[in-house]
Structure 1
Amino acid sequence: MIASSAYKAYKNTLANTTDDRLNIIGIMYDGALSYAVKAKEAIENKNILEKVYAIERLNSILLALRNVLDVKNYPEAGKFLESIYDFLLLQTLKANLNNNIEEMEVVIRYLQKMSEIWNKDVLKK
């Protein structure tokens, strides 16, 4: 699986860091997933303020995850993950503009899988 090998390569990027940093990324995935679910629920409930808040937080986390990628030293894995984050940001924008639950569900599915891969292949949970 490409995603799994990308994460393994990305883990090597972080080899000189502490386990805390690896755990922080896992926490960021969990936070992003939580805000994506909250955004979906807010869209369903037509709660604009909650939707905007959740999407702002989700986008902040996705941008932070994207910005810590080491594309210079690990171009293949970095570019792969960068494209996923860009896709998720675009999907979130579309879901926000269109109040579209299905588009937000795509974001949720991706984040669930990414979190699962991170926990299984990187953190070995």
Structure 2
Amino acid sequence: MIASSAYKAYKNTLTNTIDDRLNIIAIMYDGALSFAVKTKEAIESKNILEKVYAIERLDAILLALRNVLDVKNYPEAGKFLESVYDFLLLQTLKANLNNNIEEMDVVIRYLKQMSEIWNKEVLKK
């Protein structure tokens, strides 16, 4: 009985995968934006530990977003987004090394736009 229940839960998860994945990406954008803001605040307050923590989380999310791109089926869009994520990772690295708020502002601006586009165009929110 428990195995049957577990199988049904697994099957339901599989049938909802597309919607779930779309929502997960929205959540990842929100998380990346949140950690970018925290990074900027940590740079402003000269809190090195908080900056390192926030940047590690931000980089992890950006790398995850980059790694789940479907470049094979969507080569043009995939390559474009790859380059955007690479740019954001580079900006984050520069902001970290230089303690530069303006470089984090660029990351924040991009992530806000990407989140808004995702929510309006993909999730239709």
In percent, how many aligned pairs have the same letter?
89
Asked if 1:89 corresponds to 2:72, the answer is: no
Asked if 1:73 corresponds to 2:73, the answer is: yes
| Superposition deviation, residue 18 in structure 1 | 2.2
Where do 5+ consecutive residues of structure 1 fail to align? Answer: 1-15
Asked if 1:121 corresponds to 2:121, the answer is: yes
| Superposition deviation, residue 73 in structure 1 | 1.2
Residue aligned with 2:72, SS: coil
Task: Answer 1 or 2: higher relative contact order, Cα 8 Å, separation at least 6.
Answer: 1
| Superposition deviation, residue 72 in structure 1 | 1.1
Give the equivalent residue in structure 2 for 1:105: 105
Within 1, Cα distance between the matches of 2:108 and 2:100?
13
Give the equivalent residue in structure 2 for 1:60: 60
In the TM superposition, structure 1's runs of 4+ consecutive aligned residues that sit over 4 Å from their partners are: none
Q: Give the TM-score, by structure 2 length.
A: 0.86
Within 1, Cα distance between the matches of 2:33 and 2:87?
15
Give the superposed CA RMSD: 1.0
Give the equivalent residue in structure 2 for 1:37: 37
Residue aligned with 1:124, SS: coil
Give the equivalent residue in structure 1 for 2:6: none
Within 2, Cα distance between the matches of 1:20 and 1:70?
16
Within 2, Cα distance between the matches of 1:121 and 1:93?
30
